[in-house]
Amino acid sequence: MAKPTRRELLAGAAAFAGAPVFARSAGPTLLLPKSVPPVAVASANGHQFKNGGERTAIEEAFARLVAGSDPLDAVLAGVALNELDPEDDSVGYGGKPNADGVVQLDASVMHGPRRRAGAVAALEGVRTASAVAKAVADLTDHHLLVGAGAREFARQVGFTIEDDLNTEKSRRQWLEWKRKIDPEHWLDPARRESAAEAARRAMVAEAGVDPEHLWGTIHLSVLSPKGELAGATTTCGLAWKIPGRVGDSAILGAGLWVDGEVGAAGSTGRGEANLYNLSCHLIVEELRRGAHPKDAAIEALRRVRANSLEPRLLNADGNPAFDLKFYAVDRLGRYAGVSLYGIYKGRETRFATATEQGAEIRAMDYLLPECPAG
């Protein structure tokens, strides 16, 4: 074969330069329609509280989606109903305080199209932590502000700062919890934690405290008709927690993860188990590989189960003694709510959805059928 001339080599290079470049794919190519049916997926309390209005969080978010609202604005309008409603003692105003009787809030938000995120942790004095998280995303170069710094930032950008976010109900429950703890618990941290957990369980059994609200949170993710994704997770955290404790809700990749090209996932339940596994990031990466949201969440729960080794966290059968729930939606409009247990503390685990057929509470898929009592 004759050796190519310099002219022929240059001509070939020019042709190659004008050819399309095919990058190595991280997963299967999604053939997306120009429009998709809108979807909103939330924790069950997303279709329970209305703050005196006509719509629940998921109804409000979905209505705004179909009206053309920005997806994150729709999400925040929804979760704000829970944050402002004192009847939902898992988030915002009237949320369960920490061990010192102070309500500290965590929240994160992510906007798929803009690739922006913001979060706050241990925030005091602002009812709508999710809105402050969005302000972090919009007005700073950062993703997470905490404690007094988060509070001062909120004040500087115009949020009303209150001295106390407790309601009569949340303060009464805190006082009852304090009465059940050994007054010398501070002298022995191990004894204190044991007493605190025993008191939490007693409050569930004797005082009618909702067991799901011991780790109270609301998560809401949406897919707009344009195929745009956004999500938020907001919480008061573990009931009567050690002051300064931050769970998974404010941590990107744990309590929330959104990739605008792939999907969104959020969580409620035991934050420490989720933090160790960065489960929501894992779920979205499973979606990227083509998994259905249900299967992606099941894989995350398998990892949580495998990584839960401490005896204090396990039932007699060796499985986790806590629950953890995930909510996921992908760019195709497929969605799922998946729980570690199908029945926890004697209750069927549930989540909320809103589609063009309406809003409803549905039973969750699950990894394990039922958490043993005790």
What is the full per-residue pLDDT of the chain (374 aa) written as tens digits?
A: 454 454 443 444 444 333 333 333 455 555 555 679 999 999 999 999 999 999 999 999 999 999 999 999 999 999 999 999 999 999 999 999 999 999 999 999 999 999 999 999 999 999 999 999 999 999 999 999 999 999 999 999 999 999 999 999 999 999 888 888 755 444 345 555 666 666 656 655 555 555 555 557 999 999 999 999 999 999 999 999 999 999 999 999 999 999 999 999 999 999 999 999 999 999 999 999 999 999 999 999 999 999 999 999 999 999 999 999 999 999 999 999 999 999 998 999 999 999 999 999 999 999 999 998 75
- Quote helix, strand, coil % in the chain, to nearest 5: 35, 25, 40
Assess contact for 288 and 26: CB atoms under 8 A. Answer: yes
The identity of residue 296, as a single letter, is: A
Closest listed residue to residue 229, CA positions, set 320, 356, 99, 335? 335
Tell me which fold the domain 39-370 belongs to: Glutamine Phosphoribosylpyrophosphate, subunit 1, domain 1 (3.60.20)
What are the structure tokens assigned to 271, written together?
Answer: 């934050």
Query: In whole angstroms, what separates CA 198 from the centre of its chain?
Result: 26
- What is the structure's pLDDT at 160? 97
Element (H, E) at 266: strand 263-269
Pairwise CA distance, residues 199 & 188, whole Å: 16
- What is the structure's pLDDT at 216? 73
- What is the structure's pLDDT at 181? 79
pTM for this entry: 0.85
Which sequence spans correspond to the domains of the chain? Answer: 39-370
- What is the structure's pLDDT at 215? 57
Closest listed residue to residue 185, CA positions, set 271, 245, 99, 270? 99
Look at the chain and count its residues: 374
> Which residues are marked as active site?
217
